[in-house]
Amino acid sequence: MPKVKDIIKVIERRAPLSLMLDFDSAGLNFGDGEDDVKGILLAQNVTYSTLEECKDSGCNLLITHHPSVFGEEIDRYTQSILDRAEKYGINLYSCHTNLDCCDDGLNGCAAKLLGMKNLTVIDGCARRGEIEECRLDDFVKHTAKVLKDVNVKYVGDGKRKIKTVAICTGAGGRDEELLEYARLNKIDCIVGGESKLSIALAAKDYGIALIDVGHYDSEILCVKIFAQWLEEYKDLLRESASDINPYKSAKEIL
Give the count of beta carbons closer than 10 Å to the beta carbon of residue 78.
Answer: 17
CA-based angle 120:122:123, to the nearest 5? 140
Contacts of 235 (CB under 8 A, 6+ apart): none
The predicted model gives 42-57 an average pLDDT of 98
DSSP 18-39: GGS-TT---EEEES-TTSBPS-
Give the whole-angstrom CA distance, residue 37 versus residue 134.
48
pLDDT for the residue 71: 78
Residue 70: pLDDT band (50, 70, 90) is confident
Who's near 236: CB < 8 A, 6+ residues apart?
2, 37, 38, 39, 40, 59
- Residue 112: the pLDDT is 97
Segments of 108-171 assigned E as strands: 117-122, 126-135, 153-155, 161-168
In this prediction, residues 220-226 reach a mean pLDDT of: 98
pLDDT at position 252: 84
DSSP character at residue 149: -
- What mean pLDDT, rounded, does the chain reach? 97
Q: Which amino acid is at 112?
A: K
